[in-house]
Amino acid sequence: MKKRLKELVIHRLKLKDTWVICFVLGLVMMNYPFISIFNKEVLPFGIPLLYLYLLVGWSFSIFIVYLFSRAARRDSDTKGHL
Amino acid sequence: MLEVNWVWGTALLYIALLFLVAYYADQRQKAGRSITANAWVYSLSIAVYATSWTFYGSVGKAATTGIDFLPVYLGPTLTAFTWWFLLKKMVRISKENNITSIADFISSRYGSSQWLGAIITVITVMGVMPYIALQLKAVSTSFTIITGYHDFHLGFMERVYIPSPHPGLFTALLLAVFSVLFGARHLTSTERHDGLVAAIALESVVKLVAMLVVGAFITYFAFDGMGDIFWRMFQKEPHTLSRLVTLDATGENSYASMFSILALSMSAVMLLPRQFQVMVLENAHEAHLNSASWRFPAYMFLMNLFVMPIALAGILMTGSNNGADYFVLTLPMRLDSPWIALVAFLGGFSASAGMVMVESIAVSTMLLNHVLMPVVIRFRPQSWFPLLLINLKRFGIVLVILLGYLYQSAVGESYMLANMGLISFSAAVQFAPALIGGLYWPRGNKAGAITGLLLGFAVWFYTLLLPSVLQAGGWQTDLLLYGPFGIGILRPQALFGLTGLDEFTHTLFWSMFMNIAAYLSLSILLGQGEKESEQMNRFVRVFSSEGTPQWETKRLSKPVTIVQFVTLMSKFIGEQQAHAAIADYLGEREIDGKGGVSEFELPNLKRFVEKTLAGSLGGAAAGAVVESFLSDIGSRMEPVFDIFSTVRTSRDQSREALFVRLRASEIMNRSLELDIIMGDLLELLLREFKLDLAVIRLLNEESVLKVRSYRGVGGERITAEDRILEIDTHVGEAFLGRRTEFFNDTAFITKPIAKEIFQKEGIKSFAHIPIASEGSPPVGVLSVFSRSIIGLFTEQFVELLESLAGQLAQAVRIVEEREAKERERRQKEAALLENARVTRDLELAKQIQLSLLPESPPSLPGLHIASRCVPAAHVGGDYYDFFHRGTGVMDVVMGDVSGHSVGAALIMVETRSVLRAQMQESRSPKDLLKLLNELLYDDLTGAELFITMFCARYDDAKRALTFANAGHTRPILFRGGSWQELDAEGLILGVEKNVVFEERHTPLEPGDLLFIYTDGIIEAENDAGDFFGVDRLCRLLSGLLKEEPEVVIERVLTEVGTHAWPQPLQDDISMVVMKVA
């Protein structure tokens, strides 16, 4: 079950469509009005919310791209060059 | 303050290290073991994006306007999602077309337009000026801050008082030297610069480490971590903090500016010349994009981790954000840690140096290829061109850096670092519509791209660059405040009354609005040129065209040799490289006898030459060079003639070709007459392909190609003359060489006879196709001629004609086979007929011959006689006769001509005539034989035949038989239960002329039975090879002595026939039975 889910995720990550969707999603999440949710003068953990949101969101998206590259690396044509 | 010589020393050491690394990488590249063809190095080299603007300017921006320093790095992270398909596409296209720069990339897409390339280059040069200025300014300012001197102060200079160079200028020159050394070693811009990339990667490591060291030092040594900084800031200046970490509705730190900086950085990370250089051109393998797409954002993340803390710490420590641009440098110094400051200085220097080097090389390539090259190629190529070009490129590098220095000198002091960078970003974003549209939108055209770029550039210049220069210089502020000539609506920073936006958003909006609007509308309104749509296909469909071979749709009007192309290439890229390139190209291709490639391969070769030159001169210039070279030798690329209604580029058969093939097979199947098939086929060709004349020649028995069929008008000499198989006619060459011989333009024909004929007939192009089925020798040649169309014979058309000729060959073969069978049948028929006639004649002869034998034996008192002759064939050589001599005397003769052929029959007839003539007189048997021998000797010798003969006279009165024998089978006499053979000496007739025969007498008694016969009876052979034999015959006859002679004959015949069965009789059988009463 877990393995099948992993295969499924990897398969989806290989699709160009998924990349485009993530790109658009990221664009939306970094712009008005979405970003106004976090545009507040509060300091959770002592760090301003917006700053925290952007940093966390940034590292999260790096992680997603990392997953993408892991999935794409499984393509046979890229073997041996990484 | 740090001792100036320390700073100097460290900086020089660091530069020396860079040189070493670059040199080592170059050596490794020469050895073919690149250290930079590696995903980590690739990712680090992309980090050239982080310049001193990132290193110093981010902190400055964070401290002044706040959180909008982040989108500059968030944008690239977002684009990383698109790299795996967008950047991959760009890399693939660039590699396949030998793209040298972003200007080359975009101009190539729009039909290799020189204008477009030049415009992009100008925009780029103007656009990167502030950016390079920013780097130079950062280096000189940081030097000043760390040493306290306003110039590059050298210790000894204090004593000699010479004016020392301005640090910006000095930096500029130093970086220029480095760039020239490692960026312009070869002219070929598509070759990867390993030394440069290695240096960039090292610098990227240094600047990241420096930033992290400074950030960690300030955050964790001066303060107690990030939370502590934010907390103290919140305590001390809550309003400043909230301004810096939240977005406003309008102004510099707003949602709008967030969006525009995001958009600017997204396009800048791919469109800035240096980014294009490292990401696309220096890419070693497409798979590297994959890992770079997360490593590069991660690098950016680490780079920016401490920016906000440093900025806030700076505000906390200094009390304001004055000089925030250099907090990275000043804060360690305030904390009395000059060594940390020195690390920061090195980091900042790395960031600047890397950017300036790559940017200057990239822009210089563009300058050379798109501004200088169009001028250079107007002159006749010279052998020193390669040297000139490489030096022009070096000059370009220095020029670009000096332009930056110029801008810095003019504007430098008044602008923040980040803002200078954003001016450049705003220029780079102008390329986005033309580039993205060019990659994915097939309709995008040159007119749209040029107009869009020009409009966008104009808006950028008017609303951003111009104000920046004016504000810096303090000139003409009226223009900014009230607009040109007081027209308020045209105020540069509030164009058409648009206010409330920060200047970058304002410029981004208007420039993109104009740019995209012009690009889209002109692309839709106007069409694409031919060259444009060809290039469009290569870009938009770069992945889809893989692996599917295409029909060539172009041809060269005059053939060009390989040598000519090599000479051309040598003039631009040097002889050695030209030869290497052509050897590489020809490696897997077929070369014909004349040392050229096939006509269909020429356009490809031309494209290859163009591509190779493009690697050094840029696509547009390379195209122009090859074009002008072709026109010099009187050739040009032209579309192939469209024999079908549409030029099909796909290898699939067009509908028209299928139709023609179908019709051709119909023609072949409809008739069995070769002449009708050929005539119909030629008519089909003329009708479908606008040909003027078509001829079929077939090889006849005398090895001459004889005109068998032709259709069309004119061409008396062509249709009248047969061709012998000689190599000096085109027909002969096609036949002997077993391959299609065609000329697309008879103006370039070399065979004198053909040339004369074609000139007289006005024939422009022709093809001779050998008529041959797969694997067998040709049976003829199909020739087609056109008087109007040059370039009719495309690969596709020739292939179709060859297939039709193959079909025709099948038809010819079938017809020939059928004719051969027919001939054979007729011959057999005739033979049968002849046979029948002969048989009939022989039958007639047989009848005649039989009629020559006595009809019935004579009746003699006291003697019963019966006789019979059975020829083995129709006619035979056996003969017997009776001659009645008055009362009681009778002569009996039995002869056997050797053989039983017609010849034997004729001799038998002659013998009979001679005998009958001689029988008028009465002669004794031996005299008769002697006479016959004499008379017949000559004829028998001539016919090489001979005769055995038995001759007897029966005298009833004496009851005696007188006989002589010329070698004949001895007759048998039965008397009283015993039998004896009647023998007499005598030689066969026809052996010797004078023979004496013995004559004998024997008395006959009543009851005696005399059996005279030919050897056909005793030599009758059965299957086992046993002869019938005399014994068998005698035993048989002994039992028949009481019977009538007729019965005896019947029985003997039956027995002999039974004995020989199933074989027919081998020899004639004749017998005479005489029974004495």
Given B39, B287, B308, which is nearest A51 (Cβ)? Answer: B308
Q: What backbone torsions phi and psi does residue B966 show, to the nearest 5 degrees?
A: -105, 70
Q: Rounded distance, CA B886 to CA B878, Å? A: 26
Q: For B432-458, what is each residue's pLDDT tens digit?
A: 999 999 888 888 888 999 999 999 999
Other CB atoms closer than 10 Å to residue B654's CB: what's the count? 18
The reported pLDDT for the residue numbered B158 is 43
Among residues B855, B849, B859, B858, the alpha carbon closest in space to that of B879 is found at: B849
Among residues B968, B936, B937, the alpha carbon closest in space to that of B950 is found at: B968
Residue B475 pLDDT class (50, 70, 90 cuts)? low
Given B226, B259, B291, which is nearest A69 (Cβ)? Answer: B291
Strands B704-712 and B693-699: antiparallel
| Residue appearing with tokens 């250079």 | B376
Residue A81 pLDDT class (50, 70, 90 cuts)? very low
Q: For B327-370, what is each residue's pLDDT tens digit?
A: 888 888 888 888 888 888 889 888 888 888 888 888 888 888 88
The predicted model gives B384-403 an average pLDDT of 85
The reported pLDDT for the residue numbered B899 is 74
The predicted model gives B705-710 an average pLDDT of 82
Given A47, A51, A82, which is nearest B39 (Cβ)? Answer: A82
Among residues B437, B461, B582, the alpha carbon closest in space to that of B522 is found at: B437
Chain B CB within 8 Å of residue A76 CB: no
Chain B CB within 8 Å of residue A81 CB: yes
Test A47 with B226 for CB contact under 8 angstroms: yes
Q: CB contacts < 8 Å between A and B, how many?
A: 121
* B254-263, B572-581, B800-809, range with the lowest pLDDT: B572-581
Residue B828 pLDDT class (50, 70, 90 cuts)? very high
The predicted model gives B764-782 an average pLDDT of 83
Tokens of A38: 């976090």
Residue B205 pLDDT class (50, 70, 90 cuts)? very high
What's the Cα-to-Cα distance from B1054 to each of B598, B1017, B1030, B1048, B1069, rounded to whole Å? 86, 11, 16, 10, 12
More confident residue, B1065 or B315: B315
Give me Rg for the CA atoms of chain B: 58
pLDDT surpassing 70 at residue B991: yes
Residue B412 pLDDT class (50, 70, 90 cuts)? low
Q: Rounded distance, CA B850 to CA B865, Å? A: 18
Show contacts of A9-12: CB within 8 Å, 24+ apart: A9/A67, A9/A71, A10/A70, A10/A71, A10/A74, A11/A71
Among residues B645, B684, B704, B649, the alpha carbon closest in space to that of B805 is found at: B684
Q: For A29-76, what is each residue's pLDDT tens digit?
A: 888 888 888 887 777 877 888 888 888 999 998 998 888 888 776 654
The sheet carrying B863-870 orders its strands as B863-870, B1069-1076, B1009-1013, B972-975, B978-981
Test B81 with A81 for CB contact under 8 angstroms: no
Burial class (CB in 10 A: 0-12, 13-18, 19+), B563: exposed
For B563-720, where are the E strands, in sequence order?
A: 637-639, 693-699, 704-712
| Polymer length of chain A | 82
Question: Amino acid identity, residue B792?
Answer: L
Given B82, B230, B290, which is nearest A47 (Cβ)? Answer: B230
| Residue appearing with tokens 């697309």 | B744
Q: Quick one: CA torsion of B11, B16, B18, B21, rounded to 10 degrees?
A: -150
The predicted model gives B158-169 an average pLDDT of 52
The reported pLDDT for the residue numbered B650 is 47
Q: Rounded distance, CA B584 to CA A63, Å? A: 43
Give me Rg for the CA atoms of chain A: 17
Q: Rounded distance, CA B385 to CA B376, Å? A: 9
pLDDT surpassing 90 at residue B52: no
The predicted model gives B802-821 an average pLDDT of 84
Among residues B96, B115, B92, the alpha carbon closest in space to that of B449 is found at: B115
Q: Rounded distance, CA B670 to CA B673, Å? A: 9
Residue B553 pLDDT class (50, 70, 90 cuts)? low
Q: Which residues of A touch B285 (CB under 8 A)?
A: 81
Tokens of B563: 């040598």
Highest mean pLDDT among B212-226, B469-483, B666-680, B862-876 belongs to B212-226
Other CB atoms closer than 10 Å to residue B643's CB: what's the count? 21
Test B39 with A61 for CB contact under 8 angstroms: no
What is the DSSP-derived secondary structure letter of residue B653?
P
Q: What sign results for the dihedral spanned by CA atoms B931, B934, B935, B941?
A: positive
Residue B190 pLDDT class (50, 70, 90 cuts)? low
Question: Amino acid identity, residue B715?
Answer: G
Q: Which residues of A touch B78 (CB under 8 A)?
A: 23, 26-27, 30, 61
Q: Which residues of A touch B228 (CB under 8 A)?
A: 46
Test B291 with A68 for CB contact under 8 angstroms: no
The predicted model gives B645-653 an average pLDDT of 50
Distance of CA B51 to the CA centre of its chain: 49
Tokens of B333: 């110094």
Show contacts of B26-30: CB within 8 Å, 24+ apart: B26/B182, B26/B185, B26/B194, B26/B195, B28/B194, B29/B192, B29/B194, B29/B195
Sorted by where each begins, the domain ranges of chain A are 2-76
For B908-999, where are the E strands, in sequence order?
A: 947-955, 960-966, 972-975, 978-981
Q: Rounded distance, CA B400 to CA B173, Å? A: 11
Test B258 with A32 for CB contact under 8 angstroms: yes
Among residues B427, B78, B431, B435, the alpha carbon closest in space to that of B266 is found at: B78
Given A27, A35, A54, which is nearest B78 (Cβ)? Answer: A27
The reported pLDDT for the residue numbered B299 is 92
pTM for this predicted structure: 0.69
Among residues B359, B430, B414, the alpha carbon closest in space to that of B183 is found at: B359
Q: Rounded distance, CA B112 to CA B539, Å? A: 12
Please give the domain boundaries of chain B with CATH numbers for all domains: 4-525 (1.20.1730.10), 547-639 (no CATH), 655-820 (3.30.450.40), 853-1076 (3.60.40.10)
**Over chain B, what is the mean pLDDT?**
82
Q: Rounded distance, CA B955 to CA B68, Å? A: 162
Listing DSSP states for B764-804 in one string gives: -EEEEEEE--TTS---EEEEEEESS-TT---HHHHHHHHHH
| Residue appearing with tokens 């390339």 | B117
Q: Rounded distance, CA B521 to CA B537, Å? A: 21
pLDDT surpassing 90 at residue B288: no
The reported pLDDT for the residue numbered B156 is 43
Chain B CB within 8 Å of residue A51 CB: yes
Task: Answer for the pair B763, B754: CB distance below 8 angstroms, yes or no.
Answer: no
Q: Rounded distance, CA B495 to CA A82, Å? A: 50
For A58-71, letters b (16+ CB in 10 Å) and e give: beebbebbbebbeb
Test A30 with B246 for CB contact under 8 angstroms: no
| Residue appearing with tokens 């970094």 | A30
Given A26, A32, A43, which is nearest B78 (Cβ)? Answer: A26
| Residue appearing with tokens 């008529």 | B771
| Residue appearing with tokens 């039956």 | B1054
The reported pLDDT for the residue numbered B209 is 93
Tokens of B339: 């060594």
Given A30, A45, A68, which is nearest B227 (Cβ)? Answer: A45
Q: What backbone torsions phi and psi does residue B1024 show, to the nearest 5 degrees?
A: -80, 0
List the single residue in B with minimal CA-CA distance to A28. Answer: B259
Which H or E run includes B880? strand B878-884
Percentage of residues in chain B having pLDDT higher than 90: 8
Strand, helix or coil at B185?
A: coil
Q: For B570-616, what is each residue's pLDDT tens digit?
A: 877 777 778 887 887 777 666 555 556 677 777 778 888 888 888 77
The predicted model gives B22-50 an average pLDDT of 85
Among residues B319, B320, B520, the alpha carbon closest in space to that of B436 is found at: B520
Test A43 with B230 for CB contact under 8 angstroms: yes
Task: Answer for the pair B964, B1000: CB distance below 8 angstroms, yes or no.
Answer: yes
Tokens of B486: 């007081």
Test B297 with A46 for CB contact under 8 angstroms: no
Q: Which residues of B touch A20 (CB under 8 A)?
A: 81-82
Instruction: Mutate one of B77, B85, B87, B301 to test the A interface: name it (highest A CB count within 10 A).
Output: B77
* B414-423, B673-682, B911-920, B1017-1026, range with the lowest pLDDT: B414-423
Test B85 with A27 for CB contact under 8 angstroms: no
Q: How far is B33 from chain A (nearest CA, A)?
A: 14
The reported pLDDT for the residue numbered B552 is 66
pLDDT surpassing 60 at residue B547: no
Residue B568 C-beta-side C-alpha neighbours within 13 Å: 26
pLDDT surpassing 90 at residue B833: yes
Q: Quick one: CA torsion of B506, B510, B511, B517, rounded to 10 degrees?
A: 150
Given B85, B242, B285, which is nearest A16 (Cβ)? Answer: B85
Test B291 with A30 for CB contact under 8 angstroms: no
Q: Rounded distance, CA B905 to CA B861, Å? A: 33
Tokens of B879: 């003969």
Tokens of B1045: 């002679």
Which H or E run includes B555? strand B554-556
pLDDT surpassing 60 at residue B548: no
More confident residue, B442 or B476: B442
Strands B1069-1076 and B741-743: unpaired
Among residues B970, B907, B964, the alpha carbon closest in space to that of B936 is found at: B907
Tokens of B587: 């490696």
What's the Cα-to-Cα distance from B399 to each of B177, B392, B405, B409, B750, rounded to whole Å? 12, 10, 10, 15, 54
Q: Rounded distance, CA B848 to CA B838, Å? A: 15
More confident residue, B165 or B835: B835
Q: What backbone torsions phi and psi does residue B893 show, to the nearest 5 degrees?
A: -130, 135
Question: Amino acid identity, residue B32?
Answer: G
Chain B CB within 8 Å of residue A22 CB: yes
Test B291 with A61 for CB contact under 8 angstroms: no
Tokens of B789: 């169309």
Q: Which residues of B touch A58 (CB under 8 A)?
A: 70, 73-74, 77, 297, 301
